[in-house]
Structure 1
Amino acid sequence: MIDPVTTEIIRCALLQAAEDMNTTLIRSSYTPVIYEAKDCAVALLDRDHHVLGQSSGLPIFLGNLEVCTRETERLHGAGVWRDGDVWVLNDSYIGGTHLNDVTVYAPIFVAGELAGFAASRAHWLDVGSKDPGGSMDSTSIFQEGLRLGPVKIYDAGEPCRDPHEIIARNVRFPHATLGDLRAQISCALTGRRRLEEIITRWGRDTVTAARDQIFTQTERLEREAIAAIPDGVYRATGHLDNDGIDLGTPLPVTVAVTVSGDTMHVDLTDCADQATGPVNCGAAQAVAAVRVGYKLLVSADVPLNGGSFRPLTVETRPGSMLAAESPAACQYYYSHLGLLIDLVVKALAPVLPDKAAAASYGDSMIVQFTGTDPRTGRLYVCQEATVGGWGAWDGGDGESALINNVNGDLRDMPIEVLETLFPVRVTRYGILPGTGGAGQWRGGDGAVREYEFAADTSLSLWFERSVTPAWGLAGGEAGAPPRVTLNPGRPDRREMLKVNALPVKAGDVLRCESGGGGGYGSADRRSPEALDGDPPVGPPGSFTM
C-alpha cells in the first residue's frame, strides 16, 4: 500500500525527469533541426519497457520509444543489458519512422539491478540518403541512407569505435551528426541519473508501488471514458494526394473504430498497399498515430504512462502502407499519419461531438533546400516544417498558423536563424486570412512564407492534403488546400506540391501557402459579432496576396 500524496510526488518526479532529459538533449545538440525546431522526444521506461514519464515533444512518438528496447531484448535476450551500455537504432520497420529519426537508449541499473531505460529519438540532419537531407522521390529504403538495427554504441561506459566510424563515414555532416549522437547519449545519462535519484530517495519498493498505482489509475480513467461512448462501429475515410511518384493516384486510408464496453479496437487493414513512393511506415508508427487521435478524445488530461492505451488495440495489415515491409521507402511516413489522426477524430465525432474538432491542415508540409553556401564554401541542408490552420470545434474557432498535430512541440525555423545559417532571405511571413473553412465556428487560417534564394540551390518540397483538404464537421466547410509557387508573377512561374532536387537560381522566389482548418457547424449560424471580424472568403486559391 502507498499513500496518494507519495504517489503524486513520485509521478511528478518521473515526469520532470523526462523533461530534464529533453532539455539536456535540446541544449546539447549541434543542428538547428533539434535545438531550434525541437524535432525530438524522450521517455523514461521501467524495466518492463513501460513508460514512466515522457516529455513534451512530438506526439507521433507517443508510447512508441519502448518498441526499440523491446525489440533489442527480443533479438538478443533479456541478459543483453549491461550497466554503461548505450544502443542506437533507426530501422524504419522497427521504430516505424524514417531513417533520419534515430533512437538512442540505455539501460539504467541501480544497486546492480536493472531498473529501467532512458530513450530519446531525434531527427538527424542527414543519414547518407541519395540526396542530402532526404529524398522526396525514393522508391526503396536502400536509397534513404544508413539503416541500423539495434547496435551498441557504448560498451560498459566506453565508446565503441567501429559503429562511430561507420556512422561518420556514411553521413554528409559527420561532425554535427556525432555531436547530435553525443547529445542523445547525454540525454540518456541524465535519465539514468534522475531515476537513480528517485529510487535512492524513496526506495525501490515504494517507487514500484507508486508506478503500479499510477498505471492502475490511468487505466481506470481511460476505461471509464471509453465506457461512456455508445457501443458501435464508427468509420471514416480519407485520401493522400499521391505517393510522390505516381502523382495522379490518391491513396485511401480508412479507419474503423469498434467500441465495446470499456475497450476500443481500431482496424487499419482497409488502406492502400505499401506504395512505390516514400509514404510508407512501419506498423509501430501507425499505432502511435492512432494513440494520438485516441488521446485527443479519450484521455487528453491524463499524462502518458504505462497504464495508457491498455483498453486500446490497433490492427494493421502487413504489406500495407501503414505496416510496410522491406524494401518499402519510408522517408515521408508521417503524411498518412496526420490524416489518420484526423480520421480517428472524424469517425468518433458523431458520438463525441463536444470533444471532436474539424480536420486540420494536416501535414508537415516540408520545405528543403540544399547546396553550397557561397559565404563558407560548405554544403548545407535546410529543412523545416510549415504551420497551418487547425479545425474549429463546438464552441470555438480553430487556431491559425500552428504546427500540425503530428509534430506537437516542433517549431518552424525562426527567420533570424534561417537567414543567419543559410543563403536565403525570408521576404514574407504571415497568416493568410480567409483560408479557414466557414462555419458557425471558423477553421483556423493557413500561413504564407516566401523565400528569396541568395545562391543557386536544390529545392525539394512535400506538401499534402489537396485531395482531402481539412474537412468540416456538423455542416462546417472545408479549409483551403495548400499551394506552392516558384517565382510568382514571373514568366517562369511554376506551381507544384511535391518535387525532388529541383535546381533553382539565385534570385528565385518560393512562395509556400499552407492550408486552413475545417469549420464547425453551419455558416448561417455564425454570430453577427463574429461575422464582423471575419476576413473575406473566396474560392480555393483566391487567397494569394
Structure 2
Amino acid sequence: MTTSSPQTNPVTTEIIRNAFNAIAEDMNASLIRSAFTPIIYEGKDCAVGLLDENGDVLGQSLGLPLFLGNLSLCVQIVAEMKGWDYYEEGDVVLLNDSYIAGTHLNDITVIMPIFWEGKRIGFATSRAHWLDVGAKDAGSPTDASEIYQEGMRWPPTKVYRRGEAQEDILNFMRANSRFGDALIGDLHAQIASGRTGEKRMRGLIERFGYDTVKVARDDIFAQSSKLERQAIAAIPDGEYSAVGALDNDGISDDPVPVQLTVRIAGETMEMDLTGSSPQTVGGVNCGFTQTVSALRVAFKLLVNPERPVDGGTFRALHVIAPEGSIFRAQEPAACSWYFSSLGMLIDMVVRALAPAMPERAAAAHYGDSMVTIFSGNDARNEDAFFVAVEANCGGWGAWDGEDGQDCLINNVNGSFRDYPIEVFEHRYPMRIAKYGIRENSGGQGEFRGGNGSYRDYHIDGDTNLSLWFERSLTRPWGLSGGKAGLGPKVEIISPDGSVRDDLLKASAIALKAGSIVRVATGGGGGFGDPARRSVERSEKDRANGLISEESVAA
C-alpha cells in the first residue's frame, strides 16, 4: 500500500477510486438508454472511459474489453497530432480512422474534454458500433480489399466546437449512411454519455476539492503499478511462445499465421508479434493501438486481474508489432474484421504463459465473434430497408479444477450480448425457430471445454446474408492433455431442401423467402487427460444434454 499524503488518506482514496468507476457506470447507462440502434441498446456494443487531464484512465464501466484498452491511447495520440490545446471547452471530437483508433470504421470514438473553472481536468470518452457508416455493403463488408470500401473514415473531427454543433459536418454524416437519422441519434447518445461524465466529475471535485482528487489519483496509479510489477516479478524470467493461424482473410483461402513471443525480465513483460503475417488483402488487419488494447486484455487476464484498470495499469507491459503486419497495418489495408486475429492472440498469450502460470491458465475458447449480417426490405414495414448484425456466443476453455463455460460471448466482446429472440423477431422479418447448446462441441478432458451454441433463422422474405465465422483451422486447443473443441459450422437450407454447408465467410448471398440459416459456434478446449474425468461429471453432462453417449469432440 502507498503511504497516505497530507491531503488524503486510504479511506478517502478508496472512496474516490470507487467514485471514478461509478461515474463511468453512469456514463455507460446513459449511452445505452439513449441509443437509437439495437446493436448498442440491446447488444451493448460499446464502452466508456473517464480519463484525467493527461488521458490516463480514472474509471471504466463494464463494456467491450477490446475498446476499453485504448480509449486513453486515442486521446493521447490526438494530442500528439494536434497539441493538448486542441481540446477546448465544449468540444466533441469524433474519430474512427482505423490506423489511429485501431478498430474498423463502424466503431466510433467520441472524446469530450472536461473543464472546471477554466482548467482542463479530464476527458469523458466513449466508443460505440454504428450500424452503417456508408460502406459498399450494408453494415460492414466481408470482402473489402481496401479501407475505402469500408465506409466513411474520420480523422479527429470536431462535430461540436466550443459547444456549437457543426451542422455541415453532421449533415454530411447523415447523408452518407443508410440509416442517417439513427447514426446522428447514436452520436448524440455518446454525447449524452459524455455530458453525464462531465457533470459527475465536476460534482466529485466540488465535494472533495481538485487537489485532493488529484493526489488520490496519484496514489491509485502508484498502487496499481506496484502491484502489477510484483505480480510480473513472481513469473519466472524467460521467453515463452505460441503460434496459430486464422482460416483465411476472407479474400483468399490462404491461412494467416499469428506468432507471439512473451519475454519476462524482472518486473517487466514484453509481447512481441514478430513473425506474424504481413498485412493481408482481406480485412483481418488492425491499427497498432488496437493490438496494444488486445494484449492489455490478455495481460489483465493473468496479471493482477482482481484490480480494476486505471492509469497505473500496463506500465510494465511493452508491445512490439512489425510495421506493415496485420497487427500494425498501414493504409490502405482493410480492417473490417480486425478482431479475428486479436481474439486468437488473447488465447495465445495464455497458452504461451501456461507453463509459467499453470494455476491461472485455461484452454482456448471458441475465439471469434461469429457474425451474421442479414439485410433486405421488410414487407411488414412498407419495405423499409433493414440490417441485422449479430455476434454469436460459444464455449470457453476448461482449466485445472473446473469445466469451461457454455455459451458465453467471446473474450474481445466482454459484456456484449446477442439479441433476445423476441426483440430480433419484432425488428426483423425472420424467425428464430431453434436456439440452444451445441452438444459435444466442447473438447474432452478431465475438465470439459464449454459447449458452443446453435441457431436456426427462418427467412420470411428475400434477404441477403453475409457471414464471418472463424477458428476452423486453429481449433480451440486443450491444455495438459485436454482435447480441442469443435470449430464452427454454417448450413444454408434452400426452400427446395438443398443444403450448402461449405461457407464460413460470405458476402451478400441472396436468400429466397423460406430459406433456413443454421449457425453453430465452436466449443472451448478441454483440460487434463479425458480418461481422468469423473463418472459423476459425465453423467451430469449427459443428463443436462451437454454431451451424448458418444462424444464427438476430438
Q: What TM-score results when the alignment is normalised by the length of structure 1?
A: 0.98
Residue 142 of structure 2 aligns with which residue? 136
Residue among 437, 441, 448 paired with 1:442: 448
- Once residues 49 and 99 of structure 1 are traced to their aligned partners in structure 2, the CA distance between those partners, rounded to angstroms, is 22
**What letter corresponds to residue 535 of structure 2 in structure 1?**
P
1:29-44 aligned at under 5 Å gives the runs 29-44=35-50
- Tell me the matched-pair count: 540
* Of 225-234 and 487-496, the range deviating more from structure 2: 487-496
Residue 263 of structure 2 aligns with which residue? 258
Residue among 436, 445, 457 paired with 1:451: 457
Structure 1: 5+ residue stretches without partners = none
Residue 234 of structure 2 aligns with which residue? 228
Residue 31 of structure 2 aligns with which residue? 25
Residue among 361, 369, 374 paired with 1:364: 369
**What letter corresponds to residue 485 of structure 1 in structure 2?**
E
Q: CA deviation at 1:489?
A: 10
Residue 343 of structure 1 aligns with which residue? 348
Q: What TM-score results when the alignment is normalised by the length of structure 2?
A: 0.96
- Once residues 490 and 496 of structure 2 are traced to their aligned partners in structure 1, the CA distance between those partners, rounded to angstroms, is 14
- Once residues 138 and 477 of structure 2 are traced to their aligned partners in structure 1, the CA distance between those partners, rounded to angstroms, is 35
1:259-298 aligned at under 5 Å gives the runs 259-298=264-303
- Once residues 530 and 75 of structure 1 are traced to their aligned partners in structure 2, the CA distance between those partners, rounded to angstroms, is 57
Residue 105 of structure 1 aligns with which residue? 111
**Secondary structure in structure 2 of the residue aligned to 1:129:** coil
Over the residues paired in the alignment, what is the CA RMSD in angstroms? 1.1
- Once residues 148 and 86 of structure 2 are traced to their aligned partners in structure 1, the CA distance between those partners, rounded to angstroms, is 29
**Secondary structure in structure 2 of the residue aligned to 1:66:** helix
**Secondary structure in structure 2 of the residue aligned to 1:379:** strand
Determine if contact 1:51/1:63 at 8 Å carries over to the other structure: no
- Once residues 291 and 9 of structure 2 are traced to their aligned partners in structure 1, the CA distance between those partners, rounded to angstroms, is 38
**Secondary structure in structure 2 of the residue aligned to 1:407:** coil
1:391 matched to 2:397? The reply is yes
1:320 matched to 2:320? The reply is no
Determine if contact 2:456/2:518 at 8 Å carries over to the other structure: yes
**What letter corresponds to residue 526 of structure 1 in structure 2?**
R
Q: Deviations over 1:493-526 (max 9, x none)?
A: 1011000000001100000010000000010111
**Secondary structure in structure 2 of the residue aligned to 1:533:** helix
Q: Deviations over 1:321-371 (max 9, x none)?
A: 011010000000000000000000000001111101000000000000100
1:49 matched to 2:71? The reply is no
1:202 matched to 2:211? The reply is no
**What letter corresponds to residue 307 of structure 1 in structure 2?**
G
**What letter corresponds to residue 233 of structure 2 in structure 1?**
A
Residue 375 of structure 1 aligns with which residue? 380
* Of 178-187 and 191-200, the range deviating more from structure 2: 191-200
Residue 95 of structure 1 aligns with which residue? 101
Q: CA deviation at 1:30?
A: 0.2
- Once residues 128 and 197 of structure 1 are traced to their aligned partners in structure 2, the CA distance between those partners, rounded to angstroms, is 39
1:179 matched to 2:192? The reply is no
1:514 matched to 2:545? The reply is no
**What letter corresponds to residue 143 of structure 2 in structure 1?**
D
Determine if contact 1:280/1:323 at 8 Å carries over to the other structure: yes
- Once residues 444 and 14 of structure 1 are traced to their aligned partners in structure 2, the CA distance between those partners, rounded to angstroms, is 35
Q: Deviations over 1:10-53 (max 9, x none)?
A: 00000000000000000000000000000000000101110000
Determine if contact 1:62/1:291 at 8 Å carries over to the other structure: no
Determine if contact 2:398/2:404 at 8 Å carries over to the other structure: yes
Runs of 4+ in 1 over 4 A off after TM superposition: 488-491
**Secondary structure in structure 2 of the residue aligned to 1:49:** coil
Structure 2: 5+ residue stretches without partners = 542-546
- Once residues 86 and 97 of structure 2 are traced to their aligned partners in structure 1, the CA distance between those partners, rounded to angstroms, is 19
Residue among 79, 83, 92 paired with 1:77: 83
Q: CA deviation at 1:491?
A: 4.4
Instruction: From the superposition, tell whether residues 540 and 139 of structure 1 become closer, same or farther in structure 2 (CA, over 3 Å).
Output: farther
- Once residues 493 and 529 of structure 1 are traced to their aligned partners in structure 2, the CA distance between those partners, rounded to angstroms, is 39
- Once residues 425 and 491 of structure 1 are traced to their aligned partners in structure 2, the CA distance between those partners, rounded to angstroms, is 18
**Secondary structure in structure 1 of the residue aligned to 2:260:** strand
Residue 162 of structure 1 aligns with which residue? 168
Determine if contact 2:144/2:282 at 8 Å carries over to the other structure: yes
**What letter corresponds to residue 305 of structure 1 in structure 2?**
D
Determine if contact 2:494/2:514 at 8 Å carries over to the other structure: no
Determine if contact 2:287/2:330 at 8 Å carries over to the other structure: yes
Determine if contact 2:64/2:413 at 8 Å carries over to the other structure: yes
Q: CA deviation at 1:78?
A: 1.8
**Secondary structure in structure 2 of the residue aligned to 1:246:** coil
- Once residues 232 and 122 of structure 2 are traced to their aligned partners in structure 1, the CA distance between those partners, rounded to angstroms, is 30
- Once residues 202 and 532 of structure 1 are traced to their aligned partners in structure 2, the CA distance between those partners, rounded to angstroms, is 58
Determine if contact 2:65/2:413 at 8 Å carries over to the other structure: yes
Q: CA deviation at 1:155?
A: 1.2
User: Equivalent pairs: percent with the same residue?
Assistant: 53
Residue 199 of structure 2 aligns with which residue? 193
**What letter corresponds to residue 439 of structure 2 in structure 1?**
P
Determine if contact 2:443/2:478 at 8 Å carries over to the other structure: yes
Q: Deviations over 1:146-193 (max 9, x none)?
A: 000000011111111121011011111011000000000001111111
Residue 523 of structure 1 aligns with which residue? 530
Q: CA deviation at 1:199?
A: 1.1
Q: Deviations over 1:188-217 (max 9, x none)?
A: 111111111111111111001100000011
* Of 63-72 and 345-354, the range deviating more from structure 2: 63-72
Determine if contact 1:481/1:540 at 8 Å carries over to the other structure: no
Determine if contact 1:488/1:511 at 8 Å carries over to the other structure: no
